[in-house]
Amino acid sequence: MKIILTQEVSGLGAPGDIVEVKDGYGRNYLLPQGFAIAWTKGAEKQVTVIQRARAAREIRDLDHANEVKAQVEGLKVNLKARAGDGGRLFGSVTPAEIVDAVKAAGGPTLDRRRLVLPSHIKSLGAYPVSIRLHPEVTAKFDLNVVKG
């Protein structure tokens, strides 16, 4: 089955890529979840729109990824979250909140889908977070979740 990815799927491709997958995987998982659309000639025209949007957000090259890595790794990122008396959060910390905290700390704008969290963050404290900037470059920083 030929499909066009609309979101990044690890191990398969990035948005706008045209890939060949097994029928069941495409029909039962990728299409219903909205990760892909069925390939048609008309849909292939949409690929150019998706790729243009991806190029605007994406890290340009390896040198640019290393520059962003240097910026991110030098940051002290604090995230204020509502918590109870025992230090447990009301809910959990989302990747979007982490990206906003990095930007508020003076860092670059990052793509939340590229964050790699150690586990669900549900209590106060310091957590190691990494972000895949490029296939060859991964930046690591500490996220400090404080009561706010």
3-class secondary structure for 27-58? HHHHHHHCCEEECCHHHHHHHHHHHHHHHHHC
| For residue 29, pLDDT beyond 70 | yes
C-alpha span between 137 and 18 (Å, rounded): 25
CB under 8 Å to 123, separation ≥6 — which residues?
83, 87, 88, 89, 145
Distance of CA 5 to CAs 2, 33, 39, 47, 127, Å? Answer: 10, 11, 9, 9, 32
User: 133 and 80, same structural domain?
Assistant: yes
CA 75 to chain centre: 19
Quick one: pLDDT at residue 51?
72
β-strand partners of 89: 83
Its domain, for residue 71, covers 62-147
* Overall domain count for the chain: 2
User: 10 and 53, same structural domain?
Assistant: yes
Average pLDDT over residues 115-129: 89
User: Strand 2-5 relative to strand 115-116: parallel, antiparallel, unpaired?
Assistant: unpaired
Is residue 12 packed enough to be buried (19+ CB in 10 Å), middle (13-18) or exposed (0-12)? Answer: middle
User: Residue 73's domain is classified under what CATH number?
Assistant: 3.10.430.100
User: Residue 38's domain is classified under what CATH number?
Assistant: 3.40.5.10
- Segment 39-76, tens digit of pLDDT: 888 887 778 777 776 665 566 677 788 888 888 888 88
Least confidently predicted of 15-24, 87-96, 107-116? 107-116
User: 47 and 21, same structural domain?
Assistant: yes
Which residue bears the tokens 């690929």?
47
Quick one: pLDDT at residue 112?
85
Which two three-digit tokens encode residue 130?
Answer: 């990494």
